[in-house]
Amino acid sequence: MKFMFISDIHGSLYWLNKALDQVELEKPDRIVLLGDYMYHGPRNPLPEQYAPAQVADRLNEYKDRILALRGNCDAEVDQMLLQFPMMGDHVQIYDQGRRIFASHGHIHSMDNLPSLEAGSIFIQGHTHIPVAEKQEGIYLLNPGSISLPKEQWPHSYGLMEADEFKVLDFNGNILKRISLN
């Protein structure tokens, strides 16, 4: 299967539309949303074209392809606008005999991993910084943020297909890549 990972939208209709353009181009089987959909959070600036209700409407157009989980800026009231479940703290996906454990990163994180067997994939958002590395047999991944990247990183998303994960910017440049063999 082909997965697209989107994290930390923070209410930006502009950057969500850019990401959904990539969905149409890449045609992933599933879109995995790693949290922080509509609210920008008290520590973040307002993102470009801040429009939380419209973000919900756009996400709902893809509801049948979305797997989602709750971020630290998401609340029960957000679920009322979304037509797919997003209140769980994590999502587990089994693909090609491998476990993918997806979390926002504020509960389970690269510094506080759940119990995972060697060869598993742990993916989170939250930090807004792309990661693609392997430590102690576990693949650690982060697609960065589509709307509010940090530490000079560009706006980005992640793609996983077969035995490869890559983080891309919206110009198609590969920012990070790792073989999942």
Tell me the mean pLDDT in the region 94-117: 96
**Helix-strand-coil split of the chain, %, nearest 5:** 15, 35, 50
| DSSP β-bridge partners for residue 165 | 160, 178
Tell me the mean pLDDT in the region 144-159: 97
Residue-by-residue DSSP string for 15-45: HHHHHHHHHHHH--SEEEE-S--S---TTSP
Q: List Cβ neighbours of 87 (8 Å cut-off, separation of 6 or more).
A: 70, 74, 76, 79
* pLDDT band, residue 142 (cuts 50/70/90): very high
Domains in the chain, CATH or no CATH each:
2-90+154-174 (3.60.21.10)
Cα–Cα distance for residue pair 135/96, rounded to 1 Å: 20
In tens, the pLDDT along 122-137 reads 999 999 999 999 999 9
pLDDT at 162 over 90: no
Q: What pLDDT is recorded for position 2?
A: 98
| DSSP β-bridge partners for residue 157 | 168
In tens, the pLDDT along 15-40 reads 999 999 999 999 999 999 999 999 98
Q: What pLDDT is recorded for position 42?
A: 82
- The residue with tokens 């999502």 is 91
Distance of CA 75 to the CA centre of its chain: 17
Mean pLDDT of the chain: 96
Q: What pLDDT is recorded for position 98?
A: 94
Q: What pLDDT is recorded for position 41?
A: 80
In tens, the pLDDT along 79-93 reads 999 999 999 999 999
In tens, the pLDDT along 37-75 reads 999 888 888 888 999 999 999 999 999 999 999 999 999
